């Protein structure tokens, strides 16, 4: 019994030790397992923390993206509105362009017609300009006596000079004596050339004026001389000889007047109204020669005729001065050409001037205007 008890006791001790050992092993494993689990938990917590941070970052990015998407949507909406406005504007522009194209086509048709009209107008202006140039050339050609008058000029140089003084009355007398020049009325008033006057053997007052003007200019080209006219003496006490042939003398009742030296005098034909004919309701005029101290080159210089000396080309009689015995039309004085004893028409050695519509105008002025007109036509022709 005692032995059985000892064995049971020993078995109990062994069993207890085994139990304790098992418990120790279990505790050890549990402890290791717990430590490993804690490490896993720590790692999981860290991983969870990292994931939470990533989630926060992603959430922030999502919010930013949502805001960006919202702004983009707003921009798209605004752009859509702008596109609608642009479409509307483009539609208006397209309509305007279409209307402009129609207007352009119409303008091109007008321009084409205008160019055709310009071409026609150019031809007409060319003809006008040619007439102006021909007129200017006419006055230049007829400013001196042609060679066909050389014999007459020789007679004047030999018989109408007393020393260095040209007797204008003598020159007029020789015209009648040698050329058979006489005053001739004209059915249609016009200015004849010097060659035509030779054939016609005279003319009216403007023809005589043109001839004496040309004679003085011709003699000026070969010599220097004094020019003398004669002044009427109503009492008849004085006699002014204009020509002598042997014992025969031709004279006027008057005295001689020296008008000046040929170097400082320039001859012009001047015309003016003498009276108004109530029956024909027209003006009757007369033309004479003026000797001015200036060479007038354009219509702007007409005032240079003031104080010019005047003489009658048909007999060489002195008639006074411009500004005292005859007056001169002034620019701006409308209807001046209708006033009596007022000069409204002037012919120089290169041009002819007429007062009209309150202004002096010459052929050269017309030529300048046609030149300017041509320039304007050229600009219009270059339009596309």
Per-residue pLDDT tens digits for 250-285 = 999 999 999 999 999 999 999 999 999 888 888 999
Q: Are residues 207 and 58 in the same domain?
A: no
For the entire predicted model, the pTM comes to: 0.69
What is the distance between the alpha carbons of residues 141 and 217, in angstroms, rounded to a whole number?
A: 12
What is the distance between the alpha carbons of residues 318 and 255, in angstroms, rounded to a whole number?
A: 10
Q: Does any domain span residue 281?
A: yes
Per-residue pLDDT tens digits for 9-21 = 777 787 777 777 7
Contact 268, 214 (CB under 8 A): no
Looking at residue 129, its pLDDT comes to: 66
Label residue 193 exposed, middle or buried (CB < 10 Å: 0-12, 13-18, 19+): middle
Q: Does any domain span residue 158?
A: yes
**234: helix, strand or coil:** coil
Q: Does any domain span residue 32?
A: no
Domain count for the chain, please give it: 2
Q: Are residues 151 and 75 in the same domain?
A: no
Q: Are residues 309 and 212 in the same domain?
A: yes
Counting residues of the chain whose pLDDT is more than 90, the rounded percentage is 52
Q: Are residues 188 and 61 in the same domain?
A: no
Q: Are residues 158 and 58 in the same domain?
A: no
Domain containing 56 equals: 46-84
Sequence-ordered list of residues with C-beta below 8 angstroms from that of 303, at least 6 positions apart, any chain: 328, 330
Q: Does any domain span residue 349?
A: yes
Q: Are residues 167 and 227 in the same domain?
A: yes
Q: Does any domain span residue 116?
A: no
Q: Does any domain span residue 283?
A: yes
Q: Does any domain span residue 219?
A: yes
What is the distance between the alpha carbons of residues 131 and 37, in angstroms, rounded to a whole number?
A: 128
Q: Are residues 310 and 226 in the same domain?
A: yes
Q: Are residues 220 and 304 in the same domain?
A: yes
Q: Does any domain span residue 34?
A: no
Q: Are residues 194 and 274 in the same domain?
A: yes
Q: Are residues 191 and 311 in the same domain?
A: yes
Q: Mean pLDDT score of the chain, rounded to an integer? A: 86
Q: Are residues 175 and 75 in the same domain?
A: no
Looking at residue 115, its pLDDT comes to: 62
């Amino acid at each position: 019994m005692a032995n059985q008890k000892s064995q049971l006791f020993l078995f109990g001790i062994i069993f207890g030790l085994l139990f304790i050992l098992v418990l120790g092993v279990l505790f050890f494993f549990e402890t290791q397992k717990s430590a490993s689990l804690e490490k896993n938990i720590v790692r999981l917590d860290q991983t969870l923390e990292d994931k939470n941070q990533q989630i926060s970052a992603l959430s922030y990015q999502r919010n930013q993206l949502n805001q960006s998407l919202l702004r983009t949507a707003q921009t798209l909406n605004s752009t859509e509105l702008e596109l609608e406005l642009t479409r509307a504007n483009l539609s208006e522009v397209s309509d305007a362009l279409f209307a402009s194209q129609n207007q352009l086509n119409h303008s091109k048709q007008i321009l084409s017609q205008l160019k055709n009209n310009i071409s026609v107008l150019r031809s007409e202006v060319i003809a006008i300009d040619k007439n102006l140039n021909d007129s200017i050339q006419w006055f230049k050609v007829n400013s001196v006596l042609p060679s066909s008058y050389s014999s007459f000029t020789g007679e004047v140089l030999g018989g109408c000079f007393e020393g260095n003084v040209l007797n204008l009355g003598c020159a007029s007398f020789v015209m009648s004596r040698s050329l058979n020049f006489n005053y001739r009325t004209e059915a249609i008033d016009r200015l004849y050339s010097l060659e035509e006057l030779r054939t016609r053997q005279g003319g009216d007052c403007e023809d005589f004026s043109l001839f004496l003007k040309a004679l003085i200019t011709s003699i000026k080209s070969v010599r220097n001389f004094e020019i003398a006219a004669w002044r009427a003496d109503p009492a008849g006490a004085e006699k002014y000889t204009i020509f002598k042939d042997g014992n025969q003398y031709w004279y006027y009742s008057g005295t001689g007047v020296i008008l000046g030296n040929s170097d400082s005098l320039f001859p012009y034909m001047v015309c003016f109204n003498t009276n108004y004919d109530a029956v024909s309701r027209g003006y009757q005029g007369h033309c004479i020669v003026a000797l001015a101290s200036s060479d007038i080159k354009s219509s702007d210089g007409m005032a240079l005729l003031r104080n010019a000396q005047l003489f009658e080309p048909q007999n060489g009689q002195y008639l006074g001065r411009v500004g005292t015995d005859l007056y001169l039309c002034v620019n701006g004085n409308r209807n001046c050409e209708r006033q009596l004893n007022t000069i409204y028409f002037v012919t120089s050695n290169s041009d002819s001037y007429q007062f009209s519509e309150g202004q002096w105008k010459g052929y050269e002025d017309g030529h300048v205007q046609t030149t300017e007109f041509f320039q304007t036509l050229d600009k219009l022709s270059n339009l596309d």
